[in-house]
């Protein structure tokens, strides 16, 4: 079961109290900057994790006058579209907000800020990975080195996934699948998911077909488009 840390109590709570009942994920964007994008990214991860658990979701964006332009920035990061928060209705909801703000009435996920919080850089794929490398409760320090490392990791993984896809398919090992699910069900722990992928990348006991299926499965949560280069020349 997916559990998150509720900002109101600092304790863990189920993200979907009524299992498999429809859940609203309401992102409260603080503005059109990288911290606002991080709020939307965490909401996107929450939606993905709930859907992987079989929970129907409804993603809403509230609280920003530049919602259209912020939505365009978010789409470049692979964040799926949000509906206008003015359409919010009844039913259970989880709010995703910037850390330090007054939490809304209901279960709330607080997201730490990004420094610098200016507009997103030219490489949104690298930005997404750089933000995922740190837990959403931890402040992110963005600089050229961090983004270069993320860019290099993405390029290496996409090449590897494309190469592994040419080998006979193998299922995701049960122990690896359990570790991935345990990570994202523990307060959306994206850094732990990435650590599992780094282990899978170099584990000599795994077949390449199993590596491919593992990366494709984990990407349903991470949203890094790791299979983008399938079919490209070796």
Of 21, 39, 22, nearest in space to 30 by CA: 39
Single out the residue of 130, 115, 149, 124 nearest to residue 191, CA to CA.
130
Q: Same domain, yes or no, for 88 and 167?
A: no
Residues spanned by the domain of 205? 121-229
SS3 167: coil
DSSP code string of 203-216: -TTS-HHHHHHHHH
**Helices marked H in the chain — which ranges?**
34-52, 67-76, 124-132, 144-164, 174-185, 190-202, 208-222
* The predicted structure's pLDDT at residue 105: 84
Number of domains present in the structure of the chain: 2
Residues 192 and 147 in one domain: yes
Same domain (yes/no): 133, 90: no
What DSSP designation does 186 have?
B
Cβ atoms < 10 Å from Cβ of 72: 11
Q: Domain check: are 7 and 111 in the same one? A: yes
How much of the chain, in percent, has pLDDT values that exceed 90?
A: 72
User: Contact 219/184 with Cβ under 8 angstroms?
Assistant: no
Whether 64 maps to a domain, the answer reads yes
Q: Identify which has the larger pLDDT, 18 or 216.
A: 216
pTM over 0.75: yes
Give the chain's mean pLDDT. 90
Torsion sign (Cα): 27, 32, 35, 37: positive
96 with 12, same domain?
yes
Summarised one tens digit per residue, pLDDT across range 146-178 is 999 999 999 999 999 999 999 999 999 999 999
Residues belonging to the chain:
234
Number of Cβ atoms within 10 Å of the Cβ of 45: 25
């Amino acid at each position: 079961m997916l559990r998150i840390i509720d900002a109101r109590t600092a304790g863990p709570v189920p993200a979907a109290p009524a299992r498999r009942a429809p859940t609203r994920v309401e992102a409260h964007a603080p503005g059109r900057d990288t911290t606002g994008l991080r709020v939307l990214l965490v909401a996107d991860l929450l939606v993905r994790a709930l859907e992987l658990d079989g929970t129907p979701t409804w993603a809403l964006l509230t609280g920003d006058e530049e919602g259209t332009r912020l939505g365009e920035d978010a789409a470049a990061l692979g964040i799926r579209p949000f509906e206008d928060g003015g359409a919010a209705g009844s039913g259970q909801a989880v709010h995703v907000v910037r850390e330090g703000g007054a939490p809304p009435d209901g279960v709330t996920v607080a997201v730490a800020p990004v420094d610098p919080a200016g507009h997103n850089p030219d490489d949104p794929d690298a930005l997404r990975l750089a933000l995922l490398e740190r837990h959403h409760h931890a402040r992110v320090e963005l600089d050229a080195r961090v983004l270069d490392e993320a860019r290099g990791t993405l390029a290496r993984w996409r090449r590897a996934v494309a190469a592994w896809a040419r080998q006979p398919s193998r299922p995701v090992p049960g122990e690896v699948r359990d570790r991935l699910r345990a990570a994202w069900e523990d307060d959306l722990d994206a850094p732990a998911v990435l650590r599992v992928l780094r282990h899978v990348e170099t584990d000599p006991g795994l077949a390449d077909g199993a590596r491919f299926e593992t990366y494709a499965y984990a990407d349903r949560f991470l949203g890094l488009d790791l299979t983008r280069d399938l079919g490209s020349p070796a």
